[in-house]
Every structure is written in structure tokens, then in C-alpha cells.
Amino acid sequence: MDLLRHLRFFVAVAEEGHFGHAADRLGMTQPPVSQGVQRLETRLGITLLTRGSRGVQLTTAGAELLPRARALLDGAEQFEEEARRQRENRGAVRIGVIPALSDRQVAACTAAVRAAAPDPAARTVITTTAPTTDLVEAVAAGRLDCAAVHHPALIGALTPGPVLKIPRWLLIPAEHPAADRRPSLRALRGLACATAPRSHGTAAFDLLVDTLRAKGLDPDFLPAPGDRDAITAVAAGRAFALTTDPELDGPGAVRAPAGDDLALRVRLVWQESAADDVVGAFEASLRGTR
């Protein structure tokens, strides 16, 4: 007996409240669906559904087992999806990056890792953009080979690379008085700071807050995981922002150097089993962005 198939019949009938409607949903005729539910009930030794003039009703046992049936079907689908992903990703190099890196930098890292593979034509690089906390978890679980994360950050037992400092630029609203000169941070008082939320990297966020305060600025913060969110908030005149993209600009925004103290600090983390060529190419590409 195909348990999953018969559970699918049961769930469809329970949700539709009608054997005919369930059969239409499943793309079948009604008799196999009705017979399938009966076989399931025989195997389980309980009645799941009652049939009457008012349609199909769940029994007490059926109502209690329906959520478990759904969970089993969902689990089977997730299992098949993960198997498909594993099949498609065989031989792929999987790297992760934080949203604070620019599109150009991410593309450069991806290309460098692919070029370092022994046979680039036969290898695929899958690049995931996510917060530091998610990337560390993914590397630890083996879902990623290597990731560039904020520093400082809790990385557990993962192998860390050296701390790299990537220059950043201030993005300032074009109509702001500080936009026509190289501004001090104090000149940005009254503006919020558009940056990745604290949940993306608690220690790195707190370091940014401390650095801004040391320079005489204690702004509110607007969540801006990436450059698009940041420059949008700047163009709206609500905030200033920091970007690692030396060419990022747009209407309503002016760019100025942020200084060494506000450089983006990142480091690579990986499992000891990660290929040296992948880690080396990834790190070299990040170093080239400084």
C-alpha cells in the first residue's frame, strides 16, 4: 500500500468535504479516491470520515489525525525538494555573503571562486546572500562551504580567516547642508542611520553604534539590509547610510568617504573540510576590494 498516496486522498477529501471535489482536485475520477480512503481506514483499523446526505464529515479520530497526515505529506515534499537540490548541486561550490557587500563585490567573489575550481566549466558556484547569523548557521550545518560574515560575530567552532577592512562611503541626502562638502559625522545630526538591523549581526551593529557615538553622533536607525534600501532612505531625505560600493549614487543622494573607522570589517568562516582553493580565491577577491 502506498501510504503517502492514500494519505493524500484522505487530506483532499477532508479539506474539500466531498469525494467528487477531491477527485477533481487530484485530477482523478471519484472511485479510486473513495477506494483509497477505504483502504487507508482498513489498514489503520479506524474510521476517518463519515459519508452522509450532508457530505463528508471527519470523525473524531479523523480530525485528530488530519494535522499529522498534512505534516507527513509536507515532510515528504520537503524531502524530495532537498533531494532535488542535492542532485542539482552536486559538485557545486556554495558560498555566502552578507548584504553589506555590494553587487560588484559579490560578483567578483563568485567569479574568483569559480575560476579557482580545477575545471570551471564543470563547476557551479551558488552564492547565498543572508545575515551573518544565518550564514554562520549554514556553514556550521554544511549547507555552505564558506561565507563572508561581519566581524565581530559569534562563529562557534568554525575556522576563521583574518579580519579584512573594506572601505565604505557615506551616502547623504543631496539637499542636506553637509552634502556640498566633506562632512564630519557631527554634521549629520538629525538624520537617522540606514543600516542592516541589529538582528543581522549583533556585535557588528553594536560596534557601529559605539563608533558613531565616539564621533559625536547618536542617531536613530532605519532597517536597510542592502544598498537599495539604504539609498532609498537617503533619497527620501530621512537618513544617511554607509555603502561599500564606490560608484553607488542616484538622484537625491551624494557620496563622500566615510573614513577608516567606519570601514566594513568582514572575515571568512568555513569548515575545516572546505577546499583551500575556494577559501583562498574568496579571500583574495575580498582583499582586492579594499
- Fold agreement (93-164+266-287, 168-261): yes
Q: Looking at the DSSP assignment, which residues form a beta bridge with residue 257?
A: 169
- The enclosing H or E element of 253 equals strand 253-257
Predicted confidence at residue 87, as pLDDT, reads 59
Tell me which residue of 210, 244, 203 sits closest to 100, measured CA to CA. Answer: 244
In tens, the pLDDT along 42-74 reads: 999 999 999 877 778 999 999 999 999 999 999
* Cα–Cα distance measured from residue 6 to residue 37, given in angstroms and rounded to the nearest whole number: 6
CATH number for the region 93-164+266-287 comes to: 3.40.190.10
Sign for the pseudo-dihedral over CA of 136, 137, 140, 144: negative
* The model scores a pTM over 0.85: no
pLDDT tens track for 83-113:
776 655 566 888 999 999 999 999 999 999 9
Give the span between the Cα atoms of 165 and 262, in whole angstroms: 9
Which numeric CATH code is attached to 3-88?
1.10.10.10
pLDDT at 92: 82
Grid-cell match 568582514, residue found: 266
- How far apart CA 132 and CA 263 sit, in angstroms, is 17
Domain ranges of the chain: 3-88, 93-164+266-287, 168-261
Query: What distance in Å separates the CA atoms of residue 20 and residue 2, rounded to the nearest whole number?
Result: 21
The helix or strand, by DSSP H or E, that contains position 265, with its residue range, turns out to be strand 264-270
Q: Give tens-digit pLDDT for 4-30.
A: 899 999 999 999 988 889 999 999 999
For range 198-209, the mean pLDDT: 92
The CATH T-level fold of domain 168-261 is D-Maltodextrin-Binding Protein; domain 2 (3.40.190)
**pLDDT score at 173:** 94
Among the listed residues 11, 48, 12, 10, the one whose alpha carbon sits nearest the alpha carbon of residue 27: 12
Residue 37 has pLDDT above 80, yes or no: yes
Bridge-based pairing state of the strands 239-243 and 125-129: unpaired
